[in-house]
Amino acid sequence: YGSSLTVSLPAALQPHQPFQIIVRYTTADGPAIWWLDPELTYGNAKPFVFTQGHSVCNRSFFPCFDTPAVKCTYSATVKAPAGIQVLMSATQSSYLEEEGVYQFYMEYPVPAYLVALVAGDLIHADIGPRSRVWAEPCLLPTAISKLSGIVERWLTAAESLYGPYIWGRYDIVFLPPSFPIVAMENPCLTFIISSILESDEFLIIDVIHEVAHSWFGNAVTNATWEEMWLSEGLATYAQRRITTETYGAAFTCLETAFRLDALHRQMKLLGEDNPVSKLQVKLEPGVNPSNLMNLFTYEKGYCFVYYLSQLCGDPRHFDSFLRAYIEKYKFTSVVAQDLLDSFLNFFPELKEQCVESKAGLEFERWLNATGPPLAEPDLSQGSSLTRPVETLFKLWTTEPLDSVAAASSVDLTKWRTFQTVLFLDRLLDGSPLPHEVIKKLSECYSSQLDSMNAEIRIRWLQIVVRNDYYPDLYKVRRFLENQMSRMYTIPLYEDLCTGTLKSFALEIFYQTQNQLHPNLRKTIQQILSQGLNPLPAIDTTAVTTDTPAMVLEDKVSEATNGAISLRDVNVSA
């Protein structure tokens, strides 16, 4: 993380008098900057580099006040070789071809962690009046087919709820599988991992979540990392309001049920008294804020925001409040009290009723109590999608197993992705299963699942591993031979090494290690050398063994219990 730089100002400098400081510096390899050889890209043609600043990594990229409490505009000049496209999270850009120099300017104040750069073999296509998708040439047609036209639909829906989109353009760049998280809400230029392109419903949710951050997180930012829920909880709430407007309440309730299942799974394994389950987490000196980022940040934060919306009686009234909140605080950073005071002032009748002190649901308790959310949303509007999942799960887990015929008649190919992953996650929670059950499951569904997306396949393969079901192990090998992404490799290696299949894991790793990013390779080597979970928390977010700073989806969870893996916390930054 380097060391702080203190600049003494001249004694003669008058209060509020403008001044300029020039810092000449060189950046070495650091946790914010990821260099990729051509072999680690999809095209295998040109080198690639990207930065990931969240939450305190950009201090290794450039000198900055690396806190979300400080916002500023920025400009940058970047020189790159011919054939390398450079992009940044900026509202304005230009390119001097004869000099190979790019100029960028962000005209609105942003916190340091939202300054981002990517450079590589990237080409683009317009997918809407203010949106463009960037990707490696071999990926661009897929990206266009998945997103053309619909990003504008999401932006329009968000604007109808929360007011004008203030950043000008909303572009998306798809990054190689070494990108350490699913997505990052860099203003004007969302970063997203290319691996998610094959999973349509996850792609929808992940991009809409980043769209929501344009209002909650980017325009109005949590002033301290101890209150990340102010960005993530509000963005998750806004994401679900957008999906309700564009895809209906049933789909939103299904996705919410899937995430809340994961929240309760994480809570069960961490323990209800774990301090990381608080919304206002205490950040001790020297602790990477990313280590405190978990599903509570998202889902418990969401439940609190949802509870506030229910106090209004109509979500549209709450939408009006959030529009006013954005207008009041845009381009600034806030604490929880700012949000709650604004809420009570906007709804004086609720203030008169002392809703902030309602027994058992006190605002203070929401913020500082450990354990599960004090209240959860009514998801009954999703029952048409969740009930079939519950019915099928019951058929497979009720003894004696005499309903195989009914269970086997269910065609999972006709289900939504979130239905299938919810079903498989619940089977995972119950693993190891009786051998007869896993054998029949394989007979009924294995061939169907083979043709589905990676979010579904990895869950089935984890079931295979956790149940030592040898007839399908070859599929685990085939999957790992074709995956370079952390989110699709770490969970399987964890399960393989926790069980009896460590030698099998070693064999696959030695065959495939050269296609993995060095950071991912080191993490897997640590798993293999220990043979067991958990990994130390400092290592699950490590770029190198001595620079632990990257933000990963697994965050606290992997480091706390071997039974939790990336499937439980597959969330965007």
Q: How many CB atoms lie within 10 A of CB 512?
A: 18
Tell whether residue 209 is among the known ligand binding residues. Answer: yes
> Looking up tokens 């019951």, which residue turns up?
394
Is residue 78 within 8 Å of residue 53, measured between CB atoms?
Answer: no
Angular region, 468: left φ>0, alpha ψ -120 to 50, beta rest: left
Angular region, 294: left φ>0, alpha ψ -120 to 50, beta rest: beta
Closest CA to 281 of 370, 394, 207: 370
Tell the burial category of 19 from Cβ atoms under 10 Å away from its Cβ (0-12, 13-18, 19+): exposed
DSSP helix/strand/coil, 105: strand
The type of residue at 314 is D
Closest CA to 504 of 526, 488, 484, 481: 481
Is residue 121 within 8 Å of residue 85, measured between CB atoms?
Answer: yes
Given CA atoms 193, 196, 201, 202 in this order, what sign does their dihedral have? negative
Tell whether residue 232 is among the known ligand binding residues. Answer: yes
CA atoms within 13 A on the CB side of 524: 29
DSSP helix/strand/coil, 124: strand
- What the block records as the tokens of 103 is 């100029």
Tell whether residue 435 is among the known ligand binding residues. Answer: no
Is residue 34 within 8 Å of residue 49, measured between CB atoms?
Answer: yes
Closest CA to 112 of 60, 148, 160, 158: 60
Beta-bridged to residue 85, according to DSSP, are 120
Tell the burial category of 515 from Cβ atoms under 10 Å away from its Cβ (0-12, 13-18, 19+): middle
Identify whether 349 is a catalytic site residue: no
The type of residue at 240 is R
C-alpha torsion angle, residues 361, 362, 363, 368 (rounded to 10):
-90
Selecting among 136, 185, 201, 210, the annotated active-site residue is: 210
Selecting among 108, 113, 170, 298, the annotated active-site residue is: 298
Beta-bridged to residue 184, according to DSSP, are 191
Residue 522 contacts by C-beta under 8 Å, 6 or more apart in sequence?
Answer: 542, 544, 545
Tell me how far CA of residue 287 lies from CA of 33, 291, 293, 548, in angstroms.
20, 7, 12, 10
Task: Report the C-alpha gap between 484 and 511 in whole angstroms.
Answer: 13
Q: How many CB atoms lie within 10 A of CB 77?
A: 9
Identify whether 95 is a catalytic site residue: no
Task: Report the C-alpha gap between 134 and 137 in whole angstroms.
Answer: 9
CA atoms within 13 A on the CB side of 110: 30
> Looking up tokens 């015929």, which residue turns up?
405
Q: Which helix (H) or strand (E) holds 16?
A: none
Binding site for Zn(2+), by residue number, is 209, 213, 232
Q: Which residues are annotated as a binding site?
A: 209, 213, 232
Q: Which residues are catalytic?
A: 210, 298
